[in-house]
């Protein structure tokens, strides 16, 4: 009986691994195809789209970076993402500290997290009018403010659960020692919420880097457009240079992959901590 159970267990495990391997190949193949196509010429891609490149050529990357100005779009996205993540982490942590430690209020919590339920398409026209009236339309600072505001609700929602799980006794001890709310925030709450900060930092970085709809509507100047706009511009109406397009996609993908590889322990730790604390 035990031998039969072991055989059944082995067969089921092998079947699971086969299924997972098939799904992994299906998910990975589009990325692999884009990577291989970025080293080809456009003629080779159209002639043999599934074949491996005969020779490794970086001409498509050079052309995308210089001729098509993807390099300018890349630097713009770096500026927007870094500034956006910094402001989102700072502001959301302050708000989460206030609504959990200073003025605990479900009304304030509901007000700040209400933005999660509002679809982005519903606020495009009002946002456009507001930015026009404030004279920040088609400006770097205006777009940074916009992506910061659009990601704050989710960041506050995630960080609030982390702040709530910090023992209140730490605040009481700090208050007895003469600490004000500002010292409590940056000496106690902010350091102890590092797993949550890693989580929202990762999510908001991805959102800021991949932002397209707001960028398409709010940024018209070629010098301040994002990398997503630059990649979209590579697709022509009647003709598309797929080699350059694939190179542009890889330029956009590689930084996010490198970021995840470097900070994967903090990211996974933050997500699992949030899941356990619920």
pLDDT of residue 55: 82
Provide the pLDDT for residue 171.
Answer: 79
Q: What is the DSSP string of 72-120?
A: HHHHHHHHHHHHHHHHHHHHHHHHHHIIIIIS--HHHHHHHHGGGGS-G
What are the pLDDT digits (tens) for 44-71? 888 888 888 888 888 889 888 887 789 8
pLDDT tens for 252-271 read: 998 888 887 777 776 666 55
Residues 210-219 pLDDT 10s:
999 999 999 9
Q: Is the pLDDT of residue 40 over 70?
A: yes
According to the model, what pLDDT value does residue 162 have?
84
Residue 165 has pLDDT above 90, yes or no: no
* Structure confidence by residue, pLDDT tens digits, 114-164: 888 888 888 889 999 999 999 999 999 999 999 999 999 989 998 888 888
Cβ(251)–Cβ(227) below 8 Å: yes
CATH architecture of 59-277: Orthogonal Bundle (1.10)
Question: Can you give the pLDDT at residue 277?
Answer: 45
Q: What is the pLDDT of residue 261?
A: 79
Nearest CA among 196, 192, 211, 60 for reference residue 144? 211
Domain ranges of the chain: 2-37, 59-277
Mean pLDDT, the chain, integer: 85
Q: Residue 154 is encoded by which pair of tokens?
A: 């989710």
pLDDT value, residue 167: 84
Give residue 272's pLDDT band: very low, low, confident or very high (50, 70, 90): low
* Angstrom distance (rounded) from CA 199 to CA 209: 16
**Please, what is the angle between helix 194-210 and helix 242-277, to 10°?**
150
pLDDT tens-digit readout, 230-248: 998 888 766 778 888 999 9
Report pTM: 0.85
């Amino acid at each position: 009986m035990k031998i039969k159970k072991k055989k059944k267990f082995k067969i089921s495990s092998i079947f699971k691994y086969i299924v997972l391997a098939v799904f992994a190949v299906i998910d990975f193949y589009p990325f692999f195809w884009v990577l291989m196509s970025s080293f080809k010429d456009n003629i080779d891609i159209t002639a043999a789209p599934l074949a491996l490149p005969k020779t490794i050529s970086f001409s498509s990357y050079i052309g995308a970076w210089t001729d098509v100005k993807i390099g300018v779009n890349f630097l713009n996205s770096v500026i927007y993402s870094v500034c956006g993540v910094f402001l989102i982490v700072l502001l959301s942590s302050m708000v989460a500290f206030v609504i959990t430690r200073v003025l605990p209020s479900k009304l304030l919590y509901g007000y700040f997290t209400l933005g999660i339920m509002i679809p982005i398409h519903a606020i495009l026209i009002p946002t456009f009018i507001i930015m026009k009236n404030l004279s920040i339309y088609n400006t770097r600072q205006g777009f940074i403010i916009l992506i910061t505001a659009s990601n704050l609700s989710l960041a506050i929602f995630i960080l609030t659960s982390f702040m709530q799980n910090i023992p209140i006794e730490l605040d009481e001890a700090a208050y007895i020692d003469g600490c004000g709310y500002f010292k409590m925030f940056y000496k106690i709450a902010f350091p102890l919420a590092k797993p949550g900060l890693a989580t929202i930092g990762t999510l908001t970085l991805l959102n800021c880097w991949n932002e397209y709809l707001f960028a398409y509507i709010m940024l018209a100047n070629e010098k301040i457009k994002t990398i997503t706009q630059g990649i979209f511009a590579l697709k022509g109406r009647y003709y598309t240079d797929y080699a350059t397009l694939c190179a542009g996609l890889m330029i956009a993908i590689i930084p996010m992959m490198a970021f995840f590889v470097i900070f994967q322990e903090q990211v996974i730790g933050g997500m699992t901590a949030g899941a356990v604390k619920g």
